Every structure is written in structure tokens, then in C-alpha cells.
Structure 1
Amino acid sequence: MRDGESRLMEIDNLTPAELRVWRAFPRGEAVDFRVAEDEDVAGGAEWGAERTVRASVLRALMLNGPQEDGEIPALKLAGARITGVLALQYGTVDHAVRLSHCHFDDVPVLYGCRVRQLNLSDSVLPGLTAATLRVEAVLRLTGCLVNGPVRLGGARIAGALFMDRAEIVADEAAEPALQLNHMSLGDDLWAPGLRVHGEIRLNGATVAGSVNLNDARLSHPGDIVLDGQTLVVEGDVHLRRAHTFGWVGLRGARIAGRLDFSYAHLSNPGDAALRANSSTIGELWLRKGPPIQGTLSLRRAQIDDLFLEPEVVPEEVQFNKLVYTSLTPQEPAERRLPMLERDREGYVPHAYEQLTAAYRRIGDDRAARLVQLAKQRRHRATLAWYGRLWGHVQDATVGYGFHPLRACVWLLSLLAVGTLAYGLHHPPPLKADEAPHFNALFYTLDLLLPVISFGQEGAFAPQGWYQSLSYALVIAGWILATTVFAGVTRTVNRQ
């Protein structure tokens, strides 16, 4: 501000603290009112006039402050109490702004503002209204304590957004605590150690870099704690060692790299803890943490590499139409099958087919057969009584075609019983002068094999108990033949 009004403000209306800031601005010099580097900014409401600066003075500097030839102006202020509303809506700030370790009495209003670079690190604010903010470089909220909602919806930040160690506390009954919906970031969202009491809204946001929420504590019990619906991240999303109380929603999200929940604690008992339905993810890591408390829902998701440890899988899952290329770590089928049995939708054939395909891709045919056998047994429970009965017969005889050697065992056992019984008691011939020499072994084979004849069955007529045995052998032979055929057909169709 170069007119007479600005000079009047400079000479007559500024306090000593404000005058010090005003004179430092044209040369980009820093003004630090702190008495110690580790002082508690939360007590800034008690700071006196010697370190109090009106928001209107800062606004005048930021929009049209004095300049000196050959110098680069910048607002660099630390340890100040800022009174009044810093109202910069729709304004343009051509200078770098750093208001660190400051205490704001009122919510800054930066709606629609354009700024080169903004640094509010380690400050205490009652909230921040900066929707549709435009930042040419980076926005820093590192270590901030914000006792109200942070509104950054629709913001466009060419560089990164830093929120590491920040804490945001908002009224749970009001709006989301951290609003980053439809925001565009040209670099990372860097927020390790972030603590948020309330909802984080990231739906529709675009991040050209990665999202780092390692060691974060996000709390919104019984409700959505992180809404990342249709979120697009070109890099990774890290939530290693994070604690979430509430459900994480990533429906329709696209994460090109890794979504990493290693060592994380996901808790939302009685409802979903993680919903990534219809998402597209390069790698999803759920490992080295305690069992998820709540439902794990990955319905219709497409994942290249699913790193899922059985110990992390919760009591309820939703895997219908989940597609993954590889499943790690390599675990025996006996440890993977229980997670499919926990699906809230009951019997989900697609989940078994995906697990079978994963085992076949690594050449573990035994595990693939076990999964298919488990699928048939699970399917059997959904059938009518007669279907279940026939299923039990197929399972007991040939293991639904996955254990064909069982049919040989049954055949040999029945053959031994028949050979022994008819060897000890020859059935009388129908026509004694035309009957061939009786052979107990081939007579029993004639009874057991419905499509093969050795000329024995039609030449002899057992009586009494031995006739009942012949009927039983004929029925058993037909059952064995039918189940073997059904099993072979099922195997051929899969291949």
C-alpha cells in the first residue's frame, strides 16, 4: 500500500509491534516475538500488546504492502497474537507469507484467495476457511492446532500440502473436521502424525504425488473417519501404524501405487472398518497389524497385488467380484479358505474362483484343487435336500472329481467283498449245460461295471442274501460310474 492512507497507517495507527512487522516486510526480514522456541502457543490469548498484531495490518501488507527497490518483500512473522479476522477472500497475495507459532483469535478467511506460498506452521487457530484457495508453491500447516474445521475444499495447490504433526479438533455434530474434497495437489499430501477428531473428507481429490498418513490417529467412532470416495492418487497412500476409529471409505478410488496399512489398527466394531468397493489399486497391503475390528469390504475392487495376511482378516468380509492378480504372502489353502467362509453375503462363487486362479498362477495345483473342493462343499449347503444328498455322495466317492482315486478304492473294496462272498457260495447257473465256468472275480466285475460284460452276470442267478448283495453291487456300480463321470466333466470344464 503506497498511498497516503498507507503512510497514515504506518505513522499514526500502528502499535510498536505492528510497526516492527511493517518495516521488516519490504526487505523480507523475519520478526520473531517468541521468548523461547518451545513456548506453548495455546496460551497465546494471554499475550500482551507487545506481541499483538491486528489482522487488518497483515491484510494491508499482504495485498499491497510497501516495497523497496532491489528487495524482495515477504511477510515472516513468528510468535504473534493475531486479533481480528484475516479476511483475504478473493484477494491476490504476490509475496511469500509465513505466520508460524502464531495465535489467531479468529478464523482466517482465505476463500478464493491466490497466494504464492503460505506457511502457518505450529500456529493455533479456531478454524481455517480457505476453500478454492490457490497456492503457487506449498501450503504448510505443520504442527498446527486447529480447534475448528479446516475448509480447503476445491483448493488448487501447485506444490505439496504439509500437515505433519497437526491436530484438528472439530465438533462431531457439525461439518467435517478436515475438508480436502475436490482439492488438487501437484505434489504430496504430507501428514505423518496427523491427529483429527472428526471426519476427513478427501472425496474427489487429486494428488499427483503420494499421501503420507503414517502414525496418524483419526477418530470419528461409529461414523466415517476418512472419506476418499473417487480419490485419485498417482503415487502411494501410506497409513503405516495409523489408528483409525470409524470407517475408512475409498469407494471408486484410483491409487496407482500402494495402499499400505502395515502395522495399522483399523477399528469400527459393528460396521465396516475399510470399504474400498469398486476401487482400482496397484497394491493393497494389510499386514503386521492386529485383526481388523469391523468388516473388510473389497467388493468389485481391482487390485494388482493383494498382500493380505490371514491374521489381519476380520470376522466379516465382503469379497464378491473382487479381482486380484496375485495374492501374497504365499499361504496354504487351509489358511486362506476361512476368510472366504466369513463373507457376509454367504456363498460367493467368484471369491473361490479368484483364489483358485491365484494358486494356479504360482503353480500350486494342490491348493487350487482344495479351494475348488471347498467351493463345491459350500455350494452344497445352498441346495435342496436331494441336491445336498447327491452332493454328499459325490464328495464321499470321488471328492467332486478332485479325488478320482477314491473311486478306485471304492471299486476295489466292493470287488473284494463280492469276490469273497460269491467265491464262498457260488450262485446256481440259469442253464447248467450252457453256463460258462463260474469266476467270482469277473462275476463281481459284471455287477459293478454297467457298460462292460464278461458273460457272468446273465448266466448265474444268486438267491437269498446273495441276490440282495448283487442288487447292492449293481446300484453301487451305477453310482460310482455317474459320480466319476460328473467329476471328470467338471474337471474338464474348468480346464
Structure 2
Amino acid sequence: MTEPLEGLTPAEARLWDAFRRGDPCDLRTGDPELDDPAADLEWDASRTVRAIVVARLLLDGPGREPGRVAALKLAGALLTGVLDLSGGQVRPYVELRDCRFDCRLLLPEAHFSTLRLLRCAVPRVEAARLSTEGDLHLPRCTVPGGIRLTDAHIGTDLLLNQLVVGQDRSGQAISADGLTVAQDMEAELVEAAGEISLRSARIGGRLSLRGSTLRNPYGRYALNAARVTVEHTLYLSSGWLSGHLDGGTPPVGVRTRRFSCEGGVRLDDGRFGNAVIADKARFHLVGAQTLSLRRIQTPELRLTLDEPPSGRISLAGARVGNLTDARSSWPGAGGIDLAGFSYESLAPQGSFPLSRRIAWLADATPEYNPDPYETLAQALRGSGEDSQAREVLLAKQRRRRETLPLAGKVWGCLQDVTVGYGYRPGRAALWMAVLWAVGALYFAGRPAPPPVDEQAWPHWNPALLALDLLLPFADLGQSNAWRLSGAAQWIAAGMNLLGWMLATTVAAGASRLLRRG
């Protein structure tokens, strides 16, 4: 059995004995103000424990008492010196509550069963390639110098709720590229000043940032999670302010805090097994900062904001099953990139009329691009809204017309006015009926012209003559039977020309419909 170190203080001796029994060692005074590790109040020597004593207990501690399980459960202590457990195998359960560290905590390549730091104040946490068999908890801790968890492996859950964290010299608050969490990563109501980097991280459950406030206004990103994999859901939504944090929907009457981000968000190439939810979140972007969701893949994207981001949103190349959005979620012209964005269905929250949806597409395509229009039309067809899908495709043709030369614009206008590019075929019948009526009345008010063949002498029928002139592919025996002259000849030629144009536009529209837009 390892003997106690010489020269232990009363607090250290008390901790040594408690460790063997797995009992808590509580050095708190009972005064919440005096026990706050983040407060600017001095703690006396009766609460001081040297870091080397803690390291000795965890790495080469005394044996447990018979029938007990050794564990380090320390509360209200001032840990002096650097607690360096780098590369160590820490088998006992470790829980530190309301403790204050006067130097950084070094845990790179260390292995723990479970490590819990609850409401502790630590200048900085270095834990690259840390591994745990169970949880890693840092809730309500204050870490002004940032946290490094690069390539760390957490065996179950990572809990960071109500963490207050500052940035290191490189501007990062939490550096966790390559992090692996077997289950959930909870980072609710976090206050971070600096970049949170989760590039290529893998989360086996959900990643929750409900109610968190991320601030990095002078950097490029406040949240950089490119290539992240989340097996369940990413939450960028409201968190509820209470003593108990277990996620879920806030109960009625409970105060909530919205997710707020000052700085860019990058989720490019992320994979999400269930959904990405940004509900009532606030994104304050300046300069080149963007809300970037390029090439993400998720069954559902819920973007329901009360106000649009102050910068640009990019969904270029993203693939989404169901898109739930709100009219207020989207910035104006030039602030949206939907190039290559695909979704299968739409479920707008609140009023989002089709006219505004078409304007949304126009805002996203300063230069004409047919793909966003066709994607929207396909989603509307899938939900049974065929008439709305045709309106979207009609809007696409009108946008395309703006890019054509003068002759193309004239021809396009004619197709639009007559048959709505084939998406409003009833217009052609209406025009035919109007022209037929006008032509029939005109010819009925004139005497019968002389026949081409005086011996045949056909029966004069003004209505059939007008119809024969309008139908270019039919011969009703009238248009070629009479010798028209003067104004009547010009009227006949005009009707024949209009008939050909109507027939051509109807054929073009029918062909477009057969190609499904």
C-alpha cells in the first residue's frame, strides 16, 4: 500500500483518507459567495490542496479499504501548482466540485474511467487525445484560457452545459477537431468567447447547443464544424433556464434563452442522422462571415428564425429530406446561395405564400439558374400541389426570358401572354374563341365575296370562314373558296398568322409539360 506523502496539510490528509473509502472530501464553507470558485475572493490555507498530492492519489494512490471503492471526490478546494496527468492511466472515479485551480490542467493522452469537474474554475484545460471509458463532465465551469480536446475519445457522454470559456492565443475557445463522443454532446447555455472548432468530430447521439451564446465577432467563425458527423440531431435552438438541464422541449412557463451566434457558422460537408434544428436562433454576421451549410446531408433541416441572419446563408450542394422554414428566416437579394440545393418536401412554418416563395428563388439567383425553380416545383408536385408547381415553372421561364436577345424576348412574351408558356393552356382556347368571334362578326357584316370557282358557288358561312382561317391544320372548305380583297384580305391573313402562332405556342407548351418542366 502506498504510504501518505510526508508533510501533508490537514486538508490533504483528510483527502487521502477519504480517497481510500471513496467518500467525499468537502472543504466548502457553506457560504455560496465564499464558495464560488470564479469569484475574486481569496481562499485560505485550510482549503488548499497541492496538485502533486492529487496526482499521486490518481496515478499511484493507496489501496482501498476493505469493502470500499477508492474514488477522488473533492469539493471546495484550491488546487495549487500544475495538475499534470499527461499520459497517465487514472482508474479511480474522479469528481471535483466547486474547486479552483491556480494553474492549467494538463490531461493530454491521459485515460480515465469517468472524469467530472462541476462548477470549477480552471485557467486552461489541455486534454488532446484524452480518452475516457465513461463520461467527461465540465458543466458550469469557468475556463478563461480555453479547452483543447483535439482527437479526444469520450466513451459515453460529453457534458459542457453552462460552461463559460474564453479563448486561447490562437483565438479558439474549444479546440476539438477529431473529437469522438460515443453518445451525446451536451453544450447548452454555454458562453464562449472565441471559436468552437469541431472539424471532423463524430458524435454518436445528439449535439445540443441550445441556448448557448457564441461570440467571435472579429474572427471568421464562431462555430467551425466542417465535416462533423452527428448520428442524431444538431440543436441550435432555445435552452431553458432552470436548475435541471436534460434537453427536450421547455415546459410552458419556463424562461428560455435563445441560441445566439456572433460570428460565422460552418457546417460544410456535415452528416446528420436525424435533423438540423435552428429554431428562433440569432445569427449576427459581419463582413465575409456566413451561415454556411454547404453540402450537408440531413433528413430534415428546420430553419425557423424570427429574423434573418445579418449576413449570407449558403446551402450550396446541400441535400435535405424535409425543409421546414419560415418567411422571416431568409435574407434578401444576394444573401442566399441555393446552387445545387435539393430537398424532397416543404413544410413552411407560418404564412409563406407562393409569391414570396418565388421571390425567395429570385433573391437566391441574381444570375438565372433553373435548378432552384425545378427543385421547388418537384417538391410541390410531391405534396400534390400541381397548380403551384406550374406557377413556379412559369416564373422560371419568365426569369429565363430576361437573359434572351430581343427576338427571344418577343417570342417569349407572346408565349407568356397567349398560353403562359404552356402552363396555362386554357388561355389558347380563350384567344381562339375571341379571334373566332371577332372574325365571324367582321365577315358577317360584309357582303359575300365572289367565289374562286364561280361554277362551284359554295355556301357563304362567315363563322366557318373565320374558324378555317384560325386552324392551320384543318380545311373546312371556306378559306380557299372565296376571293377576298381589300381589308378583308388583310384581316384573313392576320387571322391565319395568329392561328399559326397560337398553334405553335400550344405545341411548345405541350412539349414542355410532357418533359415535366
Name the CA shift for 1:179/1:272 in 2 (closer, same or farther; >3 Å): same
Q: Are the aligned partners of 1:240 and 1:261 in contact in 2 as well (CA < 8 Å)? A: yes
Query: Aligned partners of 2:385 and 2:112: how far apart in 1?
Result: 58
- 1:186 matched to 2:182? The reply is yes
Identify the residue that residue 251 of structure 2 maps to in structure 1. none
Aligned counterpart for 2:354 among listed residues 314, 333, 339: 333
Distance 1:44 1:102, change over 3 A: farther
Match of 2:32 in 1: 38
Shift of 1:433: 4.4
Q: What is the count of residue pairs matched by the alignment?
A: 488
Q: 1:289: Cα distance to partner?
A: 2.9
Contact kept, 8 Å, 2:237 with 2:280, in 1: the verdict is yes
8 A contact 2:217–2:286 mirrored in 1: no
Q: 1:290 aligns with which of 307, 312, 317?
A: 307
Q: Tell me how far apart the structure 2 counterparts of residues 365 and 238 of structure 1 sit (CA, whole Å).
A: 34
| One of 187, 203, 206 as aligned partner of 2:202 | 206
Deviation at 1:345, TM superposition (A): 5.5
* Partner-residue secondary structure (3-state), 1:46: coil
Q: Is the 8 A contact 1:267 1:273 kept in 2?
A: no
Matched residue, 1:457: 479
- Whether contact under 8 Å (1:427, 1:461) holds in the other structure is no
1:225 is paired with a residue whose SS is strand
Amino acid of the structure 2 residue aligned with 1:161: L
Q: How does 1:227-306 map to 2 (within 5 A)?
A: 227-241=224-238, 242-271=259-288, 273-287=290-304, 289-306=306-323
The answer for unaligned runs of 5 or more in structure 2 is 239-258
Residues 254 and 280 in structure 1, CA contact (< 8 A), matched pair in contact too: yes
TM-superposed CA distance for 1:41, in Å, is 1.4
Cα offset for 1:16? Answer: 2.5
Residue 118 of structure 2: SS of its match in structure 1? coil
Give aligned-pair identity as a percent: 36
In the superposition, the TM-score normalised over structure 1's length comes to 0.93
CA positional deviation for 1:17: 2.3
Structure 1 equivalent of residue 165 of structure 2: 168
* 2:192 alignment partner, SS class: strand
The alignment partner of 2:364 has SS state of: coil
Residues 37 and 263 (structure 1), Cα distance of their counterparts in 2 relative to 1, 3 Å cut:
farther
CA distance in 2, matches of 1:163, 1:272: 26
Q: Does 1:317 align with 2:313?
A: no
| 1:411 is the counterpart of 2:436 | no
Shift of 1:343: 0.9
Deviation at 1:436, TM superposition (A): 2.0
**Could you say which residue in structure 2 is the equivalent of 1:57?**
53
Q: Distance in 2 between matches of 1:55 and 1:191?
A: 28
Aligned amino acid, residue 12 of structure 2: E
Cα RMSD for the two superposed structures = 2.0
Please say if residues 249 and 276 of structure 1, whose CA atoms lie closer than 8 Å, have aligned partners that are also in contact.
yes
Q: Which of residues 325, 340, 348 is equivalent to 1:308?
A: 325
Listed as ranges, the gaps of 5+ residues in structure 1 are none
Selected match of 2:502 from 462, 480, 486: 480
Q: CA deviation at 1:193?
A: 0.6
User: In the TM superposition, what are the counterparts of 1:105-120 in structure 2 within 5 Å?
Assistant: 105-120=102-117
1:23-81 CA distance string (max 9 Å, x none): 22211222222223523312366222221222111111111111243132211111111
Aligned mates of 1:269, 1:68 — CA distance in 2: 57
Distance 1:405 1:116 in 2: 74
What does residue range 423-434 of structure 1 map to in structure 2 within 5 Å?
Answer: 423-426=444-447, 428-429=449-450, 430-434=452-456
Residue 382 of structure 1: which of 396, 403, 409 is its match?
A: 403
Cα drift, residue 296 of structure 1: 2.2
Distance across 2 between alignment mates of 1:455 and 1:159: 87
> Following the alignment from structure 2 to structure 1, what is the Cα–Cα distance between the partners of residues 264 and 482?
75
- Give 2:146's aligned residue: 149
What amino acid is the match of 1:394?
Answer: Q
* Residue deviations 1:428-456 (CA, integer Å, cap 9, x gap): 32454444232222222222221222232
Are the aligned partners of 2:50 and 2:80 in contact in 1 as well (CA < 8 Å)? Answer: yes
Residues 221, 289 of structure 2: 8 Å contact kept: no
